[in-house]
Amino acid sequence: MNKEIKIFENTDELSEYLGIFWKEKIDRLEENKYYSIALSGGKTPIKIFDYLSENFRDKIKWNKIKFFWGDERCVSPTDPESNFKLAKDHLFDQIDVNTTNIFRIRGELDPGNEAKEYSKILEINLPLKNGYPKFDFILLGLGEDGHTASIFPNQIELFNSTNYCEVAEHPVTGQKRITITGNIINNAETVMIAAVGENKADKVFEILNNKESANLYPANLVNPKSGNLFWLLDKGSAKNIIVE
Ligand code: 6PG
């Protein structure tokens, strides 16, 4: 596994890097091939998606991408909490994307059943590698508690589930979520963890410096077996690791 740490001035610079990365990967695709991307939710992707909509609308062949999610809140697709709605409002509605290539997690349905159904969607639409569906690219975030996707520290065992997807529960709100698990995350060709803001600096420091405390954090378990891991940081989240 190859790990790279990139520190950007701000989220726009981070988004520019991501846009160029996706463009270069997609421009190299063979005629009838697609690039599979699992999106994350939360607030960070809003600025990323807005930047990409503004600056890469005509630079990326968006119809060569199959969009999935790493996690979804168990709410309707029109709920402000929905990760699908977030991507639709800030990206899909602004670009030329084929809706048949958007595979949302149906948060409005029974969580247990949808976790099973989405696992089937992954199996049908992605190649298998090491016995698990393989994403070309997974975008993750980092929670202030060290969670990633919707695997929280108090349910860290979900990361090692042999199921492709699990039902999780937000430790504070009790909100049910559906999340991909570590065997999917660590099977991907490329994983990028986008963590910006000073509020992430402590966890970034603990994880990137292999501190004992990091063993409690699901994000610390992200290590693609034969893929590439990128930590995309800004000056705020990197403030404890920047060597002046
Ligand atoms: C979600 C995410 C989650 C998110 C982190 C960071 O559905 O909330 O997928 O893992 O990436 O909580 O969220 P922020 O970008 O809002 O800090």
Of all protein residues, the one whose alpha carbon is nearest to atom 10 of ligand 1 is 149
Which residues does ligand 1 sit against, CB inside 6 Å?
40-44, 71, 83, 141-143, 147-150
> Hey, is 100 helix, strand or coil?
helix
Q: Between the CA of residue 30 and those of 26, 27, 70, 149, 233, what are the distances in Å?
A: 9, 9, 25, 30, 32
| The token pair that represents 211 in the structure block | 């501190």
d(C-alpha 53, C-alpha 51), whole Å? 5
pTM: 0.98
Q: What is the mean pLDDT of residues 205-230?
A: 96
CA of 153 to the centre of ligand 1 (A): 14
| Domain assignment present for 58 | yes
| Domain assignment present for 239 | no
Confidence grade of residue 227 (pLDDT, cut at 50, 70, 90):
confident
Confidence grade of residue 243 (pLDDT, cut at 50, 70, 90):
low
Element (H, E) at 19: helix 11-27
Where in the sequence is the domain holding 205, given as residue range(s)?
4-27+39-234
| Domain assignment present for 162 | yes
d(C-alpha 167, C-alpha 110), whole Å? 10
| Domain assignment present for 34 | no
Which of 46, 49, 148 is the best mutation target for the ligand 1 pocket, counting ligand atoms within 8 Å of the beta carbon and taking the most?
148
| Domain assignment present for 241 | no
Domain total in the chain: 1
Count of positions (residues) in the chain: 244
Query: Which numbered atom of ligand 1 lies nearest the CA of 141?
Result: 11
Return the DSSP state at 138: E
| Domain assignment present for 242 | no
Query: Which numbered atom of ligand 1 lies nearest the CA of 197?
Result: 17
| Domain assignment present for 32 | no
| Domain assignment present for 33 | no
CATH number at residue 179: 3.40.50.1360
Of all protein residues, the one whose alpha carbon is nearest to atom 12 of ligand 1 is 143
Could you report the per-residue pLDDT of 29-63, keeping only the tens digit for each? 999 999 999 999 999 999 999 999 999 999 999 99
